[in-house]
Amino acid sequence: MSRIAYVDGQYVPHRLAGVRIEDRGYQFGDGVYEVLAVCGAHLVDEALHLARLARSLAELRIAAPMSEAALKLVVREVIRRNGVVDGIVYVQVTRGVAPREHAFPRTAEPVLVVTARRKRTTDPRFGTQGVAVITIPDIRWQRCDIKSVALIANVLGKQRAREAGAFEAWQVDRDGFVTEGTSTNAWVVTNDGTVVTRQADHAILNGVTRRAVIDIIGAEGCRLVERPFSVAEAKAAREAFLTSTTLDLLPVVRIDDDVISNGEPGLLTLRLRERYLAHAAAK
């Protein structure tokens, strides 16, 4: 089955899909996006993703390309045409096409692109044996709460992780506190069993999976504190893990050259992972 994309009002073969050369997303990174998980042919936490998309658009003063109801129809049609049962849907909105000038154009119309693909195979050992992360300086702009398509700092950080033989890079602010990963939220479990993750401020993206896990932590009766934590605290933690829409919840067993606890995924982390997978599979 050939892949189908939705581009600015039309469903087209993926290999032929394209945007105009003066699309501001291409020239300025002037746009936002969302990635929604598809699990068992249903969308996981769709309402939260669409609410965050609307917030990102409002923060950048980009008009919505269509109503939420219409967008839901487009998303489902792209899923159907691509035969995706387990996978992801990518939704992107840019400010539109206009002659290149930094200031907002007066007449440009927002451009919507929606694509879908089947889930890529992830090494199952990541969930049972854990992954390694490195720490790097956070060089991003000061509005990381907006899910902007301008991701070059994240790209450079992810590449540093790959070159270091690590799965992810946790970014560290000027005060020595972890903000988040290049494409994930960061968590630790203290020695007294408290789950800690940075509060949802301008320094991080308030991940949808992050929000789901917070709800699960509450339902499990665990103690949660939203605050910054240092690299030193993370390395001394009882457990650590990361979350994202595309990766679910994965244990972290090494940070830089330091092994976390005994080097194996923690029991609480594994329990939260199990609960999250059940949440994602629920219809």
CA 226 to chain centre: 18
**Is position 72 annotated as part of the catalytic site?**
no
What is the maximal distance between C-alpha atoms in the chain? Answer: 59
C-alpha span between 43 and 74 (Å, rounded): 13
Which member of 72, 119, 147, 235 is catalytic? 147
Nearest to 198 by CA among 156, 219, 228: 228
User: Given CA atoms 210, 137, 149, 133 in this order, what sign does their dihedral have?
Assistant: negative
Sequence-distant (6+) residues with CB within 8 A of 65 are: 71, 93, 109, 110, 111, 112
Which tokens sit at 26?
């291409």
Rounded-to-integer distance, Cα 269 and Cα 113, Å: 36
Beta bridge partners of 91: 34, 114
**Count of other CB atoms within 10 angstroms of residue 139:** 11
Point out the residues that are catalytic.
147
